[in-house]
Amino acid sequence: MKTQQRVFNRLLGDKSVFLLTSTTVFLFAAGVNVALAEEPPSSDLISSSTQFVDSLVKLDLAGAVGRFDSTMKSAMPEQKLREVWQTVQQQVGPFKSRLRTRVEKSQGYDVVFVTCQFALADLDVKVVFNAHKEIAGLFFVPSQPEPDSFKPPPYAMAGAYRERNFTVGSGEWSLPGTLTLPVGMGQPVPAVVLVHGSGPNDRDETVLANKPFRDLAWGLATKGIAVLRYEKRTKEHADKLVVADMSQFTVQEETIDDALSAAAQLRQTDGIDPKRVFVLGHSLGGTVAPRIAQSDPNLAGLIIMAGATRPLEDLMVEQTRYLLSLNPSAQAQATLNELLADVAKVKKLTAADASSSASILHAPPGYWLDLREHDPLTAARTLRQPLLILQGGRDYQVTDADFAGWKKALASRPSVTFKLYPDLNHLFMPGEGKSKPAEYMSPGHVAEPVVTDIAAWILKTNPAP
């Protein structure tokens, strides 16, 4: 049995730290055959995976594609694989060496992770095998540090909060999450729903060695505020989306619907003040936060962290040029030229293209048209809720230009608060000099002043009339 190959290949970095406006690193997904592996992974699969990577490095694309199953060969022929490999190296620098391998079983598939060192970051080449030992899926994902390397931020007091499982939504798109609750509060507490940036984020919005949503949850709960975070739909239900008709997939299905469900469910949760449920959106989550509030007038307010005000495709070009300035090369320039050509296609899209299942910049035309039709500044002007808008001064993914856009559009509203943190990057973590992708490899935490400012703003915000 074969899958219908309609893949939503997202290179959208609020899952791409290295390219786009998100907090997660890029993901290239090229489809998975449904023939499941039944025997334990063997050394043959490890050997096949490392040889596949070696073929990529040598640009032996025929040899690499020769290991694919029929679906993969159709989805990612030699030229497409060349483009993927070039884009990977544009984002994280030239390949340096293979470091190690590990094997996992995932939903019946054999998966080999080949950890590779590039000039700017370590990545796992995730190779998925079917029962015939053919490559049925290919991903490039952040190389994760050991679990015990994730240390709590110094402002999080373990005894001040407790966590429990929380399911967002119901039915086929339900999402596992975590509700972090303050301990010892004698009255219902305010609560915040955390909304991810673009890309298949987990509930902690993990970026290499960092977990900004976990920092926010533990830090805010220490200060008496409940926090709900959950797996993003494009992560939890990636397999379903592979075979779905993505022509109608927009940010509404990707992000907004689940945030609305989360907020509605919190209002029905014991210990939560239903009149003080807030939404905090980061990166793409911040960009669409005004749309979430338009659909839910009962929200007490919005916190927008590094929300873009300009078209996403324009930010892609700006970010790529920035990365080019850090690591110039002829190959990188070629990648930029291809990007510019695709951006031009996005700009030319019309309503007649909305039902197309073709992919431009790793998303269907309807996705881009939906973003174009919903300007975040126009939406924000219609809101009655108070807003807190935060920006890092060292952020190269969403920049001061976007922050200026919020300020200009909402300057006349006394219920909007703006805060700029000059030394913080896109994850609201401190650093010095030009922000670079490699800094996400070092463990850090959301800066304490950010957590303090968010908590103080929430606690002083009165319920909407």
pLDDT tens figures, 368-411: 999 999 999 999 999 999 999 999 999 999 999 999 999 999 99
The per-residue pLDDT for 105 is 77
Whether 21 shows a pLDDT value over 50: the answer reads no
Mean pLDDT of 129-135: 89
Statement to judge: residues 75 and 218 lie in one domain: no
Instruction: Tell me: do 287 and 314 sit in the same domain.
Output: yes
- Same domain, yes or no, for 292 and 354? yes
Q: Would you place residue 35 in the very low, low, confident or very high pLDDT band (cuts 50, 70, 90)?
A: very low
Asked whether 250 and 367 are in contact (CB, 8 A), the reply is: yes
Instruction: Judge whether 422 lies within some domain.
Output: yes
| pLDDT score for 106 | 66
Q: Is 29 inside any structural domain?
A: no
Instruction: Indicate which residue of 283, 370, 374, 435 is catalytic.
Output: 283
Of 148, 181, 202, the position where a domain reaches its end is 148
Shared-domain flag, residues 217 and 313 = yes
Q: What is the reported pLDDT for 464? A: 52
Q: Is residue 230 situated within a structural domain?
A: yes
Letter for the amino acid at 138? L
Query: How distant, in Å, are the alpha carbons of 86, 177, 224, 465 from that of 262?
Result: 39, 10, 19, 22
pLDDT at 334 over 70: yes
Check whether 258 has a pLDDT greater than 80: yes
Last-in-domain residue among 119, 148, 177: 148
Spatial separation of the C-alpha atoms in residues 364 and 346, rounded to whole Å: 10
Whether residue 395 lies in the annotated active site? yes
pLDDT at 5 over 60: no
The DSSP-derived string for 208-252 is TTB-HHHHHHHHHHHTT-EEEEE--HHHHTHHHHHHS-GGG--HI
Percent of the chain with pLDDT over 70: 87
Q: Over 80: is that where the pLDDT of 4 sits?
A: no
- Shared domain for 140 and 166, answered yes or no, is no
Alpha-carbon gap, residue 176 to 169, rounded angstroms? 9
What digits encode the pLDDT tens for the residues 74-94? Answer: 888 998 899 889 888 877 788
- Does residue 392 share a domain with residue 447? yes
Over 90: is that where the pLDDT of 355 sits? no
Using H for helix, E for strand and C for coil, what is the string for 293-342?
HHHCCCCCEEEEECCCCCCHHHHHHHHHHHHHHHCCCHHHHHHHHHHHHH
342 and 413 in a single domain? The answer is yes
Choose the catalytic residue: 69, 370, 395, 402: 395
pLDDT number for residue 184:
85
Query: Does 30 map to a domain?
Result: no
Q: By percentage, how much of the chain surpasses pLDDT 90? A: 59
How far, in Å, CA of 244 to CA of 164, rounded?
32
Q: Determine the average pLDDT of the residues in 196-218.
A: 91
Residue 368: name the closest of 380, 353, 383 by CA.
353
Residue 22 pLDDT > 60? no
323 — pLDDT class (breaks 50, 70, 90) = confident
Residues 293 and 204 in one domain: yes
Same domain, 303 and 452: yes
Query: Are 142 and 163 within one domain?
Result: no
Enclosing domain of residue 352? 158-460
Question: Where residue 228 sits, what CATH number does that domain have?
Answer: 3.40.50.1820
What is the C-alpha R_g of the chain? Answer: 22
Taking the complete model, does pTM exceed 0.85, yes or no?
Answer: no
Last residue in a domain, options 148, 179, 205: 148
What pLDDT score was predicted for residue 86? 85
34 assigned to some structural domain: no
Q: How many helices (H) and strands (E) does the chain have?
A: 17, 12
Tens-place pLDDT, residues 402-420: 999 999 999 999 999 999 9
Q: What is the pLDDT of residue 279?
A: 98
pLDDT, position 402: 97
Which of 147-151, 164-168, 295-299, 324-328 shows the lowest mean pLDDT across its residues? 147-151
Report the pLDDT value the prediction gives residue 363, as an integer from 0 to 100.
85
pLDDT of residue 139: 87
User: Given a cut of 50, is residue 37 above it in pLDDT?
Assistant: no
Whether residue 370 is found in the same domain as residue 423: yes
165 three-class SS? strand
Give me the number of domains the chain comprises. 2
Q: Which tens digits make up the pLDDT trace of 338-349?
A: 889 999 999 999
For residue 366, pLDDT over 80 is answered with yes
Summarize the confidence of residues 442-456 as an average pLDDT. 96
The domain that holds 101 is classified in CATH as 3.10.450.590
Catalytic residue among 196, 282, 362, 426: 426
Q: Is 12 within the bounds of a domain? A: no
In-domain check, residue 285: yes
**Whether residues 198 and 133 fall in one domain:** no
Q: Quickly state the pLDDT bin for 245 (edges 50, 70, 90).
A: low
Q: Which residue has the tokens 């679990």?
A: 147
